Amino acid sequence: MIEGRTILGSIGLAILVVFAIVAILAPHIAPYDPHQMYRPLEHPSSRHLLGTDNIGNDILSELIYGTRVSLFIAFVVSVISMIVGTSLGLIAGYFDKLGFLIMRVVDVFLTIPRLPLIIVIASFIRPSVWNLIAIFLIFGWLMTARIIRSEVLTLRRRYYIDATKMIGGSDCYILWRHILPNVVPLVVVQFIMEATHVILAESGLSFLGLGDPIARSWGMVLHDAFECPIIYVSDIWMWWMLPPGLCIVFTVLGLTFVGYALEETLDPKLKSQAYGREL
Amino acid sequence: MNLLEITDLKTYFPTQDGIVRAVDTIDLSIRERETLGLIGETGCGKTVLGLTILRLLHPTTTVEGTIIYRGSNLLKITEAEMRRIRGEEIAMILQNPTTSLNPVMRVGEQIAEAIRLHQGLSRKDAKEKAIEILDSVRIPSPSGRVNEYPHEFSGGMKQRVMIAIGLACDPALIIADEPTKGLDVTIKSQIVTLLEEVTEDTAMLLITHDLGVARALCDRIALMYAGELVEYATTREIFENPLHPYTRGFLGSLPSNGLVPIPGMSPSLINLPDGCRFHPRCDHAKAICQKKHPDMIEIEDGHFVRCFHA
Amino acid sequence: MHQISKLTYYLVILFIVLSINFFLPRVMPGDPLSYLTDPGADIPARITEEKMEILLAYYGLDKPLSEQYINYMVGIIRGDLGWSIYYNAPVLEVILGRLKWTLLLVGTSTAIHVTLGILIGATSAWARGRKKDMGLLIFILSISSFPSFFLGILLVIFFGIKLDIFPISGAQTAFATYSSPFEEIFDILHHLVLPAATLVISHIGGTYLLMRNSMLGVLGEDYIMTARAKGLSERYILHRHALANALLPIVTMTAMTVGFMVTGTIFVETVFAYPGIGNLLYNTVLYRDYPLLQGIFLFITVAIVGANLIADMLYIRLDPRVKHE
């Protein structure tokens, strides 16, 4: 069981590294400029490995550059969400009155369904990468704040916090030296979960047509494919729909595996003596 | 006539840090209607011994030796046969009643289900019997309380419920694991009296670290240290003529004897000391104690010790 | 007491949602009308003068903010959610017309998904660490990586087109006449299979993992040992002791599950052209039919929040420890 965990985590990490490399080296790897138009709806050939879409863009290049968009959005949103979420979580856990207020806000926003609100907001604004990032940030920090606060409350009950106070440690010192290190593993797991959600949400939004039409993410490519009336005819879907979809799938898979591998390391409730015999 | 005879019992757990030798070659026997006390500090392996008898351990645990109960070796019978014995012939009262009771199941049902399983009674009859048993463990208004949930009972009451579950099918042997742990003094003595009553016709293996309780209930006492037995005799002999330094230290730590602690800490069950396992903490340790592991020897009639200097 | 404060909490949320709905178009940079008349934006629908008038009246942008707000709130209470530009009908009417299909889809999917999730989650936990568990875990984790719309597309392609077993669009065969009610029911079910399967498969991961974790937590509890010590069979322990305790968190999760299902249905209905509210939303976004869009948002949000409320109430009733607060 321990081995299973590590194997999964390693596979996940490998996948993510591959995508990261593609994203970083995109201009060097992509055969063409994704906005350059060639003959539309071409089948895969030696010149266009994945063929071209309905306006003649090389699909492979679109996907490679799309990696940049999808990963960039996910990364930026996750990093900022973690910083904001952790900070607010720490403050909320440590200072009670402020914490109460913050948690009310968190509760309200967690109860409101994410996607419908995101869709509505997105349809009111000009679609662009930074706008999308802003929208996702509205919700990204919530869960992290709640989890971190909960952990801080638990940690506070432990005697050594009081002991440190007794010997004169300031609140800042306590937060930094004692609480933060315990909180880091949780943040890492949340980071991965948030990244997963963002990738799925962003591709979903783009699929609905709300993504950035210029910096085309995988979701946008799928959107165009779906909107094409002859998509199911003569196997066009094979090189226009499957590849972008699979890119999304593998990225999320990589993240999920890594997240899962890390989660089991941290959750104490999964006692090792829990078992069931043959039924 | 030995009801239960344990020979050469070993229970080892494989862990990431090494093999935990929780039970390391133990010989024990319990006669019909006898109460045997198993005394030791927390972490010496006594609960594991109890669980081993009923084969309740995780499947990856290594168990060796023999446990003969009424002619059959419990370690060799099938799981189905073992299930028949659990609860009906040998019952265990587990530690910590607060977590050992299912919080979303009524108390009466937790007693009755064992009765229905082993004695084949109907729901109605089993419930009647459950009420009777609750009464016998001195729970007031049993016909009302039988429908309540565990969180509605106090700590002492929950302990009685655990005892009731153990007694439900009239077993020949009860293994009671720390039945008085965490209870305050008055409740403790009530439980002790109760146990005395209900085990008149039943054999009991009493696992505890409380010598006072052991003295009140047990016919014979076995002291366990670091996975093995170090002394084994009648209750009277243990209290009047303790031979092993550990036993003496244990008795010395009683409040009535001055609360003198035994220096040092009990060893890890993975890295055991060479020779006599108690030697690092023993006042009388000599050179031989560090090198050779003492055997269990019968010093006087029925009084066994594992020490070179008894 | 508990229930009353929960209720107020949800009413407050409702109020906030309504307010967000109100302020959203008025707060966004550039009002919605300018976006619609922007020659740069590619909106398929044509906005005529007449429709502009309706929009203006709907938003009441000429009146003071407080008056707009009050009109809005009063309108909501009276069931007036505005007028759809594209469908040229009251928003509420348009939504209600589509509601039944979404209810059917989400209803069946939730039922199947929860049952399956519980079953395989429990099986996995029971076989913890062994091949069955690892296999299931990897399988479910992998499946959950598929966005629902992509999964739907895959199902359309393989089962709808390649194998031609199931229809790939609509809730019923268009213009069909049925000789008996059974035939109609069969046709509806026939159209329901793929969309429901998509919803179930893409969301089952959550419930599965929750059940697995919950069950593992329960299996490590002392009272399971007590049950074993009584000589009860493993199967009995699973059903009578473990499941009841492990299921408690699932109940609260089910409300969230419905929430996910409803948002998932937006994609699934789109892919399968299933005539529910999700598909409606897609078209609405495409045409930027703002009143309808906001109406749908309101509708969906209220439904999901309502589901949360019900789940909370249910939980209080189910856990005997909480009852006696």
User: C285 at the A interface (CB within 8 A)?
Assistant: yes
Chains that touch A (3 or more CB pairs under 8 A): B, C
pLDDT digits (tens, 9 = 90+) for A165-195: 666 666 666 667 777 777 888 888 889 989 9
On whether the CB atoms of residues A274 and A29 are closer than 8 A, the answer is no
The answer for A 225-264 residues in CB contact with C (under 8 A) is 226, 232, 237, 241, 245, 248-250, 252-253, 256-257, 260
Is domain A2-31+50-278 annotated with CATH 1.10.150.120?
A: no
Query: Which H/E stretch holds residue A170?
Result: none
B110 neighbourhood in chain C, CB within 8 Å: 226
Least-confidence region, from A16-20, B196-200, C40-44, C206-210: C40-44
Radius of gyration of chain B (CA): 20
pLDDT at B73 over 90: yes
Contact criterion met (CB < 8 Å) for C285 and A123: yes
B79 neighbourhood in chain A, CB within 8 Å: 277
Map out the domains of chain B with their CATH numbers: 2-89+173-305 (3.40.50.300), 98-170 (no CATH)
User: B102 at the C interface (CB within 8 A)?
Assistant: yes
A277 neighbourhood in chain B, CB within 8 Å: 59, 79
More confident: A164 or A220: A220
Tell me, what's the ipTM?
A: 0.87
Q: Count how many Cα atoms sit within 13 Å of the Cα of residue A7 in the half-sphere of its side chain.
A: 7
Residue C1: per-residue pLDDT: 44
CB pairs under 8 A between B and C: 77
Radius of gyration of chain C (CA): 24
A275 neighbourhood in chain B, CB within 8 Å: 58-59
Distance CA C86, CA C98 (A): 15
Mean pLDDT, residues B259-276: 84
Average pLDDT score, chain B: 90
Among chain B residues, the shortest Cα distance to A272 is held by B58
Best probe of the C interface among B51, B53, B84, B100, by most C CBs < 10 A, is: B100
A117 neighbourhood in chain C, CB within 8 Å: 20, 297, 301
Residue C223: per-residue pLDDT: 93
Q: Which amino acid is at C218?
A: V
User: C29 at the A interface (CB within 8 A)?
Assistant: yes
Distance from CA of A99 to the nearest CA of C (A): 18
A71 contact partners, CB below 8 Å, separation of at least 6: A19, A20, A23, A251
Burial of residue C179, with CB atoms counted within 10 A of its CB: 0-12 exposed, 13-18 middle, 19 or more buried:
exposed
Mean pLDDT, residues B152-170: 92
Least-confidence region, from B301-305, C33-37, C304-308: C33-37
Distance from CA of A274 to the nearest CA of B (A): 8
Average pLDDT score, chain C: 82
Best probe of the B interface among A265, A269, A275, A279, by most B CBs < 10 A, is: A275
pLDDT band of residue A33 (cuts 50, 70, 90) is confident
pLDDT at C325 over 50: no
Mean pLDDT, residues C89-102: 88
pLDDT at A16 over 60: yes
Distance CA A261, CA A259 (A): 5
Residue A170: per-residue pLDDT: 67
Task: Name the pTM for this structure.
Answer: 0.79
Contact criterion met (CB < 8 Å) for A112 and C301: yes
